[in-house]
Copies of this chain bind each other. A is one copy, B any other.
């Protein structure tokens, strides 16, 4: 009856999960530098050497946690985005942004592990770059889809900005090809600005730089999401595009988010 090769493998997989759960628990107390293999094995009631059957080194465990973190926040964004009508680009932008902030608030130490200071002495292996790009892809896809649908508002004509410099034009072309063909170059650059703003404001809130400056970070966040969405050219707040599909849909994490 034992599923032959499966049993041992399944028990093994479960212990790997338990180790990572315990590691995340410790992460939320001590932060990444305080993560201790011995403390993990102690909590799980096993010998300190036992963990080496599952992770070859502390760095390998760290890598697993980082990959999980990227995957987790990426999935949150994908789910939030996926819960919106495809052609309501403003709603998708808001939902994705909120889901990222929510995830960060719910997993502050994982967020710090992934978007905070690099862990000294740790060199991220290739395995992390795929998961790392999931969130970015969600945001880029929203802008891209809006562009394809012709829903991006044209650049305000009275822009005081000079044309792109040679260097940044090259960079913008690469960026457009990489992430969103069919998007204008200066829109792509504004999307980069919005992307970095999103993580900038979340980091500032989480890392304590709003103390004494901003009392209610949530409301300010909500507003900057709107502002930056409009800055990129997205129609925010979302407009009724296909009547009938706008209101509901299962985006579980948006409590009173939409009541701006």
Contact = CB atoms under 8 A, between A and B. Distances in A.
A120 B33 contact: yes
A226 B163 CA distance: 11
A74 to B, nearest CB: 13
A117 B32 contact: yes
Nearest to A223: B168
Interface stretch (A43-51, A93-101, A199-207, A241-249): A199-207
Nearest to A27: B120
Given A112-B117, A200-B201, A219 B158 contact: no
Given A175-B213, A199-B200, A161 B193 contact: no
Interface residues of A, number: 74
Contact of A158 (B31, B34, B156): B156
Contacts of A124: 208
Nearest to A217: B171
Interface stretch (A4-12, A52-60, A75-83, A228-236): A228-236
A227 B190 contact: yes
Interface on chain A toward B: helix, strand, loop, or mixed SS?
Answer: helix
B30 A121 contact: yes
Interface string A157-177: 011111011011011001100
B208 A118 contact: yes
A105 interface: no
A63 interface: no
Contacts of A113: 117
Contact of A207 (B118, B165, B209): B118
A254 interface: no
A237 interface: yes
Nearest to A231: B231
Interface of A: 29-34, 112-113, 115-121, 124, 129, 132-133, 136, 153, 156, 158-162, 164-165, 167-168, 170-171, 174-175, 178-179, 189-190, 192-193, 196-201, 203-204, 207-209, 211-216, 218-220, 222-224, 226-228, 230-231, 235-237, 259-260
